[in-house]
Amino acid sequence: MFDYHVHTTFSVDCATPMEASCEAAVAAGVTEIAFTDHQDLQPSDMGFGLYQPAAYFAEVERMRDRFDGRLTILAGVEVDYHTETHEAVEEFITEFGPRYDFVIGSVHYAAGGEIVFPELFGGKQLDDVILPYLDQVERAVMTGWFDTIGHLDLPKRYLPKTHRDYDPAAYRARISALLDVFVAQDQAFEINTSGMRQRPKTSMPGPAIVRWYAELGGTRITTGTDSHAAQTVGAGLQATLQMLKLCGIDDILSFRRRAETRVPIDTLLSA
């Protein structure tokens, strides 16, 4: 199994050392792990300016030595993207992009620089959050900078009880248009299993969106747990592989130095 979305102490919101997650990965049957700490380029973010690539790469090298032969460790990063940080992201990608194995582009902010948390929904209809969020995801896809797009329907995770439930079917026209852009751009997206452990109780995105993507000819998928704690490394990945198969996806992507190979899901399913 591939867990391509794991945070460590190099992220402001995570206290789990890389080594603890490597141990947990081996125990969970994860064969490839990508450490994707936050690169937050939104000035108001609590992690702004904290990411240290040199120290990060040194720790990845140390772990590669320690887990040699037991676990494939990818140097990754989760780059926050929205249109107001476009130039800062471009600078980072230009300077550091080639040094990574794998780069996630994730939208965590609305266009106005408001973080996608429950407070964002205050005084707004669901549409006023979901539709602009999907627009930001589309802008991220159009950059062509990212190996995958993180949690493409993230707002559902932070939906307050005051709002009607998010049903992707209610946004099918907009989401299908977005998926057309993913297909046209050869852009992968991730199945982020953290939603299965949290309030949405379904991955981000869930099966409906995956099925629409496959029907439109899409084939590029990565998998990750978005773990901020060692005990969730690998969580939900087997169920996700089965879900992908049922939705018409036959393989997932593996990365080295930003280059992808396809791995048949059948070779990753446990008996």
CB 56, CB 37: distance < 8 Å = yes
Residue closer to Zn ion, measured from CB, 225 or 251: 225
Q: Find the binding residues for Zn ion in span 8-67 (CB under 5 A).
A: none
Stretch binding Zn ion (CB under 5 A), from 57-65, 92-100, 143-151, 161-169: 143-151
* Least distance between Zn ion and beta carbon 36 (Å): 6
Q: Which residues, at least 6 apart from 113, have a Cβ–Cβ distance to it below 8 Å?
A: 42, 44, 82, 84
Residue closer to Zn ion, measured from CB, 150 or 236: 150
Answer whether the bond into residue 205 is a cis peptide, omega within 30°: yes
CA 176/CA 181 separation, integer angstroms: 9
Number of residues that bind Zn ion (CB under 5 A): 4
* Least distance between Zn ion and beta carbon 43 (Å): 18
Which residue, 100, 112, 190, 181, is CA-closest to 154? 190
Neighbours of 97 (CB within 10 A): 16
CA 132/CA 110 separation, integer angstroms: 7
> Mask 109-128, x = binds Zn ion (CB under 5 A)?
--------------------
CB 158, CB 121: distance < 8 Å = yes
Q: In the chain, helix, strand, coil percent, each to 5?
A: 40, 20, 40
Residue closer to Zn ion, measured from CB, 59 or 226: 226
* Least distance between Zn ion and beta carbon 131 (Å): 20
| 106 contacts Zn ion (rule: CB under 5 A) | yes
CB 36, CB 13: distance < 8 Å = no
Q: Find the binding residues for Zn ion in span 68-87 (CB under 5 A).
A: 78
* Least distance between Zn ion and beta carbon 80 (Å): 7
Stretch binding Zn ion (CB under 5 A), from 15-23, 142-150, 166-174, 196-204: 142-150
Residue closer to Zn ion, measured from CB, 47 or 150: 150
* Least distance between Zn ion and beta carbon 104 (Å): 7
How many residues belong to the chain?
271
Closest residue to Zn ion in the complex (CB): 106
* Least distance between Zn ion and beta carbon 119 (Å): 17
Q: Which residues bind Zn ion (CB under 5 A)?
A: 78, 106, 150, 226
